[in-house]
Structure 1
Amino acid sequence: MKYLIVGLGNIGPEYELTRHNVGFLTLDRLADQVGCTWSSNRLAFTADFKLKGRSMYLIKPTTYMNLSGKAVNYWMKELQVSKENTLVIVDDVALPFGTLRMRAKGSAAGHNGLKNIEDTLGGQDYPRLKFGIGNDFPKGRQVDYVLGRWSQKELDGLPAFMDKATEMIKSFCSIGIERTMNQFND
């Protein structure tokens, strides 16, 4: 069995510790936990490892958020991974900070990275792990908030939430999405 785990984010030091890059940060945490290293490849940074006999492929698209679908589509085809076995980790302003919610499908809810993946894959029927970043911003300032750096309070809580997210990713690949949702969703 093969699994493609996609962390959404933007490349470059100016985006590194922003809320929008929580997908990248979560995959970095997972790669550290399992001891795999990143390589620069076509359209993405990639890493891979084995988990309970399953092949796990991690990608951090280098296409920037709004063109994430290009990298997802390329690596799904290159690795021959089905849509059901592709999990996208994404920030979500509709969820309180630290809330983690896995879904088998759903709308992009205004997220440009998800919109591009939907357009490229031809639908909303792919698994995603939504990482709540909260919505503590004044009206009209969402972009500044999402592309802003974490507060110290958020940074203090982030490792525990990323650890839970990595457990959810491993669970998705070992016991499936339904059981993972039942066990972990807030």
Structure 2
Amino acid sequence: MALFVGLGNPGSKYENTRHNIGFKVIDKLVGDLGARDVSKASFQGELFKYSNHYFLKPTTFMNLSGKSVLAVKQFYKIDIEDIIVIHDDIDLPFGALRFKNGGGHGGHNGLKSIDSLIGKEYLRVRVGVDKPVHKSQVADYVLADFSNEEEKYLDKLISHTAEACMKLTTETLTDVKSKFSLKSLEGLLG
């Protein structure tokens, strides 16, 4: 059993923002697998099930994502090591993909919220969205839509990430890292 959590903000205003890359990966997985909706109000998110795997998009807004993750974790008695969180990462260039077990939140408010409620020992799928020139612009940057240039490669990046996520349920983290990690967009196009 695995619980995949895609981080993002609800509503059409945020749909195509960098911060919502996690939602986009969950949408891809749910669509490809034909997962069924098993949402409940108490989950504070959209929850889908396929086989023995769950796919969650918290609808609490990013800063409170942990509430939704905790609710689903407790309801289905999911161990922390079976939780895989997919999120945007400004410390990686656009198109990069990294996998990490545990660690810090790097200032990401969604991860901060999850860490504070369930702990840090879950798996992170870090999707690079690049960073703005000035640190003061981070909030506006992650809440902005992908650029036209980035949009051209977004579907490919989302598909690659979704495939990697499913492999995490059948292969070791080391194997998935070696097969699916990307340093940059070039790795995706190569």
TM-score strictly above 0.5: yes
* Aligned residue type for 1:73: L
What is the aligned partner in structure 2 of residue 167 from structure 1? 163
Conservation of the 8 A alpha-carbon contact between 2:63 and 2:109: yes
Unpaired runs of 5+ residues, structure 2, are: 183-190
Equivalent of 1:72 in 69, 73, 78? 69
Conservation of the 8 A alpha-carbon contact between 1:4 and 1:56: yes
Equivalent of 1:110 in 88, 107, 121? 107
1:52-89 CA-to-partner distances (Å, cap 9, x unmatched) read xxx11000001111011111111111111111110000
Secondary structure at the counterpart of residue 47 of structure 1: strand
Report the Cα distance in structure 1 between the residues aligned to 2:87 and 2:132, rounded to whole angstroms: 18
**CA offset at residue 183 of structure 1?**
2.3
Secondary structure at the counterpart of residue 141 of structure 1: helix
**CA offset at residue 143 of structure 1?**
0.7
Secondary structure at the counterpart of residue 28 of structure 1: helix
* Aligned residue type for 2:156: A
When normalised by structure 1's length, the TM-score is 0.92
When normalised by structure 2's length, the TM-score is 0.90
Report the Cα distance in structure 1 between the residues aligned to 2:135 and 2:102, rounded to whole angstroms: 28
- How many residues are aligned here? 180
Report the Cα distance in structure 2 between the residues aligned to 1:81 and 1:180, rounded to whole angstroms: 22
Report the Cα distance in structure 2 between the residues aligned to 1:146 and 1:137, rounded to whole angstroms: 13
Report the Cα distance in structure 2 between the residues aligned to 1:154 and 1:57, rounded to whole angstroms: 29
Conservation of the 8 A alpha-carbon contact between 2:39 and 2:48: no
4+ long deviations beyond 3 Å: 37-40, 136-139
Conservation of the 8 A alpha-carbon contact between 2:18 and 2:143: yes
Report the Cα distance in structure 2 between the residues aligned to 1:47 and 1:5, rounded to whole angstroms: 10
Report the Cα distance in structure 1 between the residues aligned to 2:12 and 2:37, rounded to whole angstroms: 16
Report the Cα distance in structure 2 between the residues aligned to 1:84 and 1:20, rounded to whole angstroms: 24
Report the Cα distance in structure 1 between the residues aligned to 2:148 and 2:122, rounded to whole angstroms: 33
What is the aligned partner in structure 2 of residue 181 from structure 1? 177
* Aligned residue type for 2:15: E
RMSD of equivalent CA atoms? 1.3
